[in-house]
A = this chain, B = another copy of it.
Amino acid sequence: MADKNNIAKTKVKVPEHSIRRLSVYLRYLYSARDNSDFYVSAPNIAKELNFDPTQIVKDLSLTGIKGKPRAGYNTFELIQAIEDYLNFDKSNRAFLVGAGSLGSALISYPQLESFGIKIVAAFDIDPEKTGKLIKRVNVLPVSQMPELAKRLKVEIGILTTTAEAAQQATNLMVESGIRAIWNFAPINLKVPDDVIVQNTSMYSNVAIMLKKLQASKQS
């Protein structure tokens, strides 16, 4: 077994930039389909979304779709191919750990299910929070996580605790068999090599934006 105290490295390589763009194309394709545009071409998508058409053709080829890049792709087939590639058609059960304000907001965020993530239970260490319902999701004591993860075959954890509680919550998730952690806590999590961490730090996004705003005034 891997050393749990190892620094989280990028162990699994995926084409992150292409995946980001594919998820943007997908949103556009949904609206094209809704507008009864049954064929779309890379130059069309490029024009609508401000992307380079060559890049689009390259990204789309990752999904294995066989289109005629200039003549066009069948919109339905293309949507299906991207959804399959991104696993968006599947519903992936997830636990949410830390039922504070951000956690509650994510539970109440209806788009999450359309991204392929279904929160089946939330956990907290605070007895004032456990035993309650947020929307239709139960907030349970963390002690119930290991058994429930095994029973429900949950592999995804959403971490919305405070920075202070995050590492301990992570350790429990890993012990419970969670294999991918979507981390909203502003810390660098220690996980075994075979556990995936995806960081979404609101905090650093704000910091970068404010720094750019300041720099733009000085230039």
How far is A206 from B186 in the complex, measured between Cα atoms in Å?
A: 18
Q: Given A7-B50, A201-B23, A206-B117, do A213 and B105 touch, yes or no (CB 8 Å)?
A: no
The count of chain A contact residues (Cβ–Cβ below 8 Å) is 68
Chain B: minimal CB distance from A22 (Å): 7
B92, A101: Cβ atoms closer than 8 Å: no
How far is A110 from B213 in the complex, measured between Cα atoms in Å?
A: 23
A93 an interface residue at 8 Å Cβ cutoff? no
Residue in A11, A49, A208 whose Cβ sees the most chain B Cβ within 10 Å? A208
Q: Given A180-B209, A208-B19, do A186 and B87 touch, yes or no (CB 8 Å)?
A: no
How far is A117 from B7 in the complex, measured between Cα atoms in Å?
A: 31
B188, A51: Cβ atoms closer than 8 Å: yes
Residue of B nearest to A217 (CB): B179
From A36-44, A120-128, A145-153, A190-198, the one touching the partner chain is A190-198
B216, A196: Cβ atoms closer than 8 Å: yes
Chain B: minimal CB distance from A200 (Å): 5
A210, B50: Cβ atoms closer than 8 Å: no
Q: Given A50-B188, A109-B101, do A211 and B19 touch, yes or no (CB 8 Å)?
A: yes
Chain A 134-177, CB-CB to B under 8 Å as 1, else 0, gives 00000000000000000000011000000110000000000000
The listed residue (B196, B200, B203) touching A202 by CB distance below 8 A is B200
How far is A19 from B201 in the complex, measured between Cα atoms in Å?
A: 12
Residues of B within 8 A of A214 (CB): 87
A16, B50: Cβ atoms closer than 8 Å: no
Residues of chain A having any CB pair with chain B under 8 Å: 7-8, 11-14, 16, 19-20, 22-24, 27-28, 31, 49-51, 85-88, 92, 101-102, 104-106, 108-112, 115-117, 155-156, 163-164, 179-180, 182, 186-188, 190, 194, 196, 198, 200-216, 219
